[in-house]
Amino acid sequence: MSFSTLGLCTELLSTVTEKGYSEPSPIQKNAIPAILNGRDVIAIAQTGTGKTASFSLPILQLLAEKPRQQEEGIRALILAPTRELAAQVAKNVETYSQNMNIRSTAVFGGVRIEPQKHALQQGVDILIATPGRLLDLYQQGDINVDNLEILVLDEADRMLDLGFVEHIQHLQSLLPEQRQTLLFSATFSKEIKTLATQMLKNPETIELATAHDHIENITQILHPVDKARKHELLIHLINNNDWSQILVFTRTKRGADTLRNELEALDIAAESIHANRTQQARTKALDGFRDGSIKVLIGTDLAARGIDIQQLPCVINIDLPYVPEDYIHRIGRTGRASSKGLAISLYSDDEAKQLRAVERFTGRQFKKTFVEGFIPKPKPKPAAATEEDALYGNFEADDKSQGKRKSKGRRKRR
């Protein structure tokens, strides 16, 4: 099947050809015709399957075919959970619309709001936004959604994870009831089903490769190591493997910055990306990682949904995440488009609870693979009790049990 069979117009087919795409992905084959037919759509698809094109291309065509009814207001709104994803989607929309008279822009936090207001004043057909900045601009009177025709919730599960459910519900009350709504998510959880029930009308559900399916392409390795030697082991792995790029995940922002400084001191090109960094610094880090000038990108789970690097060879978890779903999203940055990926987790004994949670969630038990020179020290055995300890221990136990019996007796007398 080719893109020409999906009903796309000449301008979009020309752009798709210029980008080197010849055959649509499974999500594109199913979603594009449904959206062109005006259906509400629930699509369960992970990042890296071509989902952005699956909603961007038909939206551009629908807007181009239907003349603008009103001079003011946004015609299509795409909500994204993170700044990085919003910027990425906006870049794709701009590329796909290069042969069309469609105006688009992105708004998100972490940067000055004035340039975004100016862009909106020039008139915008498609707005890509994070929920927080969108509502800020709306409350300041800079956004008009009265005539909105299409709403997209991209990576809806991540928006719920980040606590945007109230923002989305508030937005729902502001939008016209007569609209087309598209919901894209990597998982089809109970919460996503509830959200879909509230926001979509008679949707067509497209459930293809999920995040769980995707990890079958990824070799997952668990390296036990003492907690204090995790950074040392990471450096050993970087120096002894021919990886062009490595995406490293930590649980904390401080941990990401500390590791970046250690790697830079060893002349390993590294950068960190997390919520405390300015948007300019985060964009620069991502651009450097994409063009190869930065070899190691260290991020918190914020980065798991905003990074789309083709042929990323390796993901390394310095820490196991507290939320097992985040493990799937982390390692899902590698092994894209049916290519093979590698995910390595550095595991210390204090993470036993997190490991069990990940194993339950993924339905697999990890085999521990030890690295020579980094085998963790055995836990010290409890000191053997002396006769004196045992003697006093028994007296203490007897005292406690007698106390319990006495208290029970008092309660009975009452």
Alpha-carbon distance of 360 to 358, in angstroms, equals: 5
Answer for the pair 289, 297: CB distance below 8 angstroms, yes or no: yes
CA distance 260 to 249: 12
113-138 confidence digits (pLDDT tens):
999 999 999 889 999 999 999 999 99
User: For residue range 74-83, what is the model confidence (pLDDT) as tens digits?
Assistant: 999 999 998 8
With beta carbons less than 8 A apart as the criterion, state whether 80 and 155 touch.
yes
Residue pair 81/159 in contact (Cβ under 8 Å)? The answer is yes
Q: How many whole angstroms separate alpha carbon 321 and alpha carbon 377?
A: 23
Of 12-26, 138-152, 179-193, 370-384, which gets the smallest average pLDDT?
A: 370-384
Q: What is the pLDDT averaged over residues 309-322? A: 88
Res. 399 pLDDT band, cuts 50 70 90:
very low
Are 153 and 184 in contact by the 8 Å Cβ rule? The answer is yes
| pLDDT in the model for residue 3 | 87
Q: 343: which strand partners?
A: 220, 315
HEC profile of the chain:
CCHHHHCCCHHHHHHHHHCCCCCCCHHHHHHHHHHHCCCCEEEECCCCCCHHHHHHHHHHHHHHHCCCCCCCCCCEEEECCCHHHHHHHHHHHHHHCCCCCCCEEEECCCCCCHHHHHHHHCCCCEEEECHHHHHHHHHCCCCCCCCCCEEEECCHHHHHHCCCHHHHHHHHHHCCCCCEEEEEECCCCHHHHHHHHHHCCCCEEEECCCHHHHHHHEEEEEEECCHHHHHHHHHHHHHCCCCCCEEEECCCHHHHHHHHHHHHHCCCCEEEECCCCCHHHHHHHHHHHHHCCCCEEEECHHHHHCCCCCCCCEEEECCCCCCHHHHHHHHCCCCHHHCCEEEEEEECHHHHHHHHHHHHHHCCCCCECCCCCCCCCCCCCCCCCCHHHHHHHHHHHHHHHHHHHHHHHHHHHC
Percent of the chain residues topping a pLDDT of 90: 54
As to burial, measured by CB atoms within 10 angstroms (0-12 exposed, 13-18 middle, 19+ buried), residue 184 is buried
Contacts 24+ apart (CB under 8 A), 160-166: 160/191, 160/192, 160/195, 161/81, 161/323, 161/325, 162/81, 162/82, 164/81, 164/131, 164/132, 165/191, 165/195
Q: How far apart are CA 333 and CA 292, in angstroms?
A: 16
Report pLDDT digits (tens) over 2-39.
888 898 999 999 998 888 887 888 899 999 999 999 99
pLDDT at 290: 87
pLDDT at 404 over 50: no
pLDDT digits (tens, 9 = 90+) for 243-265: 989 999 999 999 999 999 999 99
User: Pseudo-torsion of CA 285, 289, 295, 297, nearest 10°?
Assistant: 50
Cα–Cα distance for residue pair 162/101, rounded to 1 Å: 35
Mean pLDDT of the chain: 85
